[in-house]
Every structure is written in structure tokens, then in C-alpha cells.
Structure 1
Amino acid sequence: MNIYRSFQQLAEKEREGIDFRIQWRWGRTGIAVMAPHGGGIEPGTSEVARAVAEPHHSFYHLDGLKRKGNGRLHITSTLFDEPAALEMARRSWKVITIHGCDGANPTVYLGGLDEDLRARVATVLRSRGFSSAPHPVFRGDQKENLCNRGSSGAGLQLELSEALRASFFARLDRPGRDHPTPIFFEFVAALKTALAGLSEP
């Protein structure tokens, strides 16, 4: 359940630098890789987004810092209106958002309005041994969804199952996420390959 329906509501109740932090940097490709539910909110998504973005793409995350209860910081993607995130999306041609979802199978659920990019990513992931599918609920197909707010109007949403994210790190807690596994690097390399060569028409 989403407690906050806007970033302003969140900021009035939560303490920046203690409960959450926002970090971003600009790249030069016009592609932004974003984890709006990073840190302890959907563990592992910040690490994936940061690694995929390096060194050329833009990166953004809202990082949940609480010792417990980070789920209260979740603002649904169609309502996510943190100003730096919206500015990055507006100034980017293509937005890729990294999310975490439940799931005992190590699966990547692909969504967003960019059908060609979804197919491209699915092909590359399959070639590297990763399983992908459309999510039955979280499809990222609303125009207001953060992934579709780039200037192209169509982006990519990746929902990474808990089992997949758990395979990326020694553990999914914050200390464990400091120790990525070879599967993490293989997954990041696959996404980098899929994004390589994309250019604004």
C-alpha cells in the first residue's frame, strides 16, 4: 500500500539524509537509468541502475535509508513526481526504470511503451541465460509512468523478481549488497549490450 501519493507528502513526513536520500548524475547519451524505489525500498535496484548507467548514461535513484520499514517510502510510478527525477526524465530521450517485485523465480518482467526496446532487451537477456516475461500487473504502459516520461514518450520498465535480485548479491540487506556476484555483472553486461547503439532518431 502506498502511503504517499506525491513526493511533497513524503518530504513533509520523512527526513532527507536520514530516512532517504536522492542522488543523480548526468550522462551524455540522452538515456537515463533510474531507480525510483532504490536502497531499502526495493533492494538491489539502485545497484543495478547505477552499474548499467556507468559510465555514459544518466543515473538517478531515491534511496531508502531506514533500518526497517522502507516500503513506506514507495511512491507508485504513475505518481512519482520528485523534481530532480522529473527534470532528468524531461531532458532525456529514453528512460529506463529498474524496479523490484516479489517472485520466487529469477525472472525479469519487461514493461514500458517502447515495444522495440522491450524485444531487444528480451533477446539479449535470453542469449545470456536470463528469463524474461511481461508482468501480469506491472506493465508500465501508462503515459504517466516514469519510464514513459522521456521526450520519446516511450520507455522501458524492468521489474526484477526477488529471487533474481537475491542472486545478484551475497545478501539483499545493505551490507550484503556491497558484495555483488558474477550473476550481477553478467546481468549488467547484458543490459549494457542491449542499450549500446541506441540513439535518438
Structure 2
Amino acid sequence: MADQYHSFTALAAREIKDMHYRIRLTARRSPIAILAPHGGFIEPGTSELATAIAGRTHSLYCFESLTLRAKGDGLHITSTRFDEPQALLLAARSEIVIGVHGRKNGADPETVWVGGLHEELRDAICAALTISGFQAKAVGEGHPLAGRDPANICNKGRLGAGVQLELPRALRIAFAKDAAISRAFAEAVRRTLRS
């Protein structure tokens, strides 16, 4: 599905802040920032999970749609063009950015696809999630949601390499129904950020 808006400037020219969308930002001293650029009604459950992963330790950014839109009429700006100024500034000040995203279930409603240019951290997150009972798969070159483009917001930290988590809809629904599962997932990711 094509984005309605190709930049934040175009979005902000037509949409009203705190009516159609909001931005939540908490900058902390951590070198790691957790971003949910498609929160609220865009990719439901991603803001909540990003908040849980950030906890009280890491910086947090969420761009959230506040209105349920007709299909194809959303506030989604693809990650390689996500240029909201506060998000870009937080990413530039952070060493590593982890993007939290939602995807359709497709043929695989259980596996988290973990991408990004920081392959070592990507693989560590996959291993931690697997140990904690989740299905996770490292995705790389050629995968449509690999998050490997340097222009992707997850790769705009100071290292130039971050991680992108793509969670299927079914798993995000499970998180909404059972906070313990969501906490276990967030803690598995957080463990990799402490090492």
C-alpha cells in the first residue's frame, strides 16, 4: 500500500497535531533510543511495546495516529522517508536506534522478523527472544522488511546501524490481551541492551 504522505512536512500541512496525531518523546542519557514511528492506529501495539522496551532506561519516541482511518488513508510514512524532526534529532543523538514496527500476519503469524544494519545486535535479539520462547528470525538482504537501507530511521543513530523489529499482527494482539507476554518480550530485548 502506498503512503498517503511522503514526508512529515506534507503530513503536518494537512493533519492537526494532538487531534489527528501526537508525538511522545522521552530523551534519556542512554545511548539507545527505542522508536515506534507507526504507533497508535497505524500499527497498533507498537507504541506500547516500544514503551515497555525503553522502560525507564532508554530514550523513547512514538509517532501515533489518533484517528482510525479508512484503509489506504493513514498517517504511515515509510521508515526510509520518516523525517519527523524530533525523531531525526533523537536518532542523531543516540548511538543505536531500535525501531518497533507491525506487519501483517501473512503466512507467518508468529515470527518476529529482526532486521537492520547492526547485525551483531540483531542476532543477539533473535537469540534472546528464542530463549524466552518467542519465534524470531534474522532477515537480511533481499527481504522486503529487512531494514537495511541506510536511510531507514533505525540506521540513523551515530553508529549508522540499528535494529528493526517487525511484529506480526497476531503477536501484537496477544500482547494486548496478556501483559505478562508483552513484558517477557520487552525484557528479552532489554537484556541484549544491557550486555
TM-score per shorter chain, which class?
over 0.9
Residue 49 (1) aligns with residue 50 (2): yes
Verify the 8 A CA contact 2:11 2:75 in the aligned structure 1: yes
How many pairs does the alignment contain?
188
- Return the alpha-carbon distance in structure 1 between the equivalents of residues 32 and 154 of structure 2: 11
The answer for the alignment partner of 2:133 in structure 1 is: 129
- What is the distance in 1 between the residues matched to 2:111 and 2:17? 33
Q: Matched residues in 1 for 2:131 and 2:64: separation?
A: 31
How far the C-alpha of 1:69 sits from its partner, in A, is 3.6
Alignment of 1:85 onto 2:87: yes
Aligned partner letter, 1:150: G
Identity %: 43
Find the residue that maps to 1:73 and give its secondary structure.
coil
Aligned to 2:39: 38
CA shift digits 1:97-155 (9 cap, x unpaired):
00000015221100100010011001101100111124531110000000000000000
Structure 2 counterpart of 1:98, from 88, 92, 100:
100
Distance 1:137 1:154 in 2: 18
Normalising by structure 2, what TM-score? 0.93
Matches within 5 A, 1:49-198: 49-69=50-70, 72-103=74-105, 105-135=109-139, 136-170=143-177, 180-197=178-195
Contact 2:6 2:81 in 1 (8 A): yes
In 1, Cα distance between equivalents of 2:154 and 2:93: 13
Deviation at 1:181, TM superposition (A): 2.6
CA distance in 1, matches of 2:194, 2:49: 16
Matches of 1:12 and 1:79, distance apart in 2: 16
Cα contact 2:126–2:138 (8 A) shared by 1: no
Task: Give the counterpart letter for 1:111 in structure 2.
Answer: G
Q: Distance in 2 between matches of 1:14 and 1:110?
A: 31
- With 158-167 and 64-73 compared, the bigger mean Cα shift is at 64-73
Deviation >3 Å, runs of 4+: 67-71
Q: SS of the residue aligned with 2:112? A: strand
Q: Is the 8 A contact 2:98 2:163 kept in 1?
A: yes
Structure 1 residue 27: Cα displacement: 1.3
Letter in 2 for 1:184: S
Give distance in 1, aligned partners of 2:117 and 2:80: 13
TM-score (normalised: structure 1): 0.90
Which blocks of at least 5 consecutive residues in structure 1 are unaligned? Answer: 171-179
Question: Using the alignment, how far apart are the partners of 1:102 and 1:144 within structure 2?
Answer: 23
Supply the distance in 2 between the matched residues of 1:67 and 1:75 (Cα, whole angstroms).
16
CA distance in 2, matches of 1:26, 1:139: 26
User: 2 CA distance for matches of 1:186 and 1:115?
Assistant: 23
Q: Which moved more, 1:61-70 or 1:184-193?
A: 61-70
* Distance across 1 between alignment mates of 2:52 and 2:137: 22
Gaps in structure 2 of 5+ consecutive residues: none
Structure-1 separation of matches of 2:157 and 2:75? 23
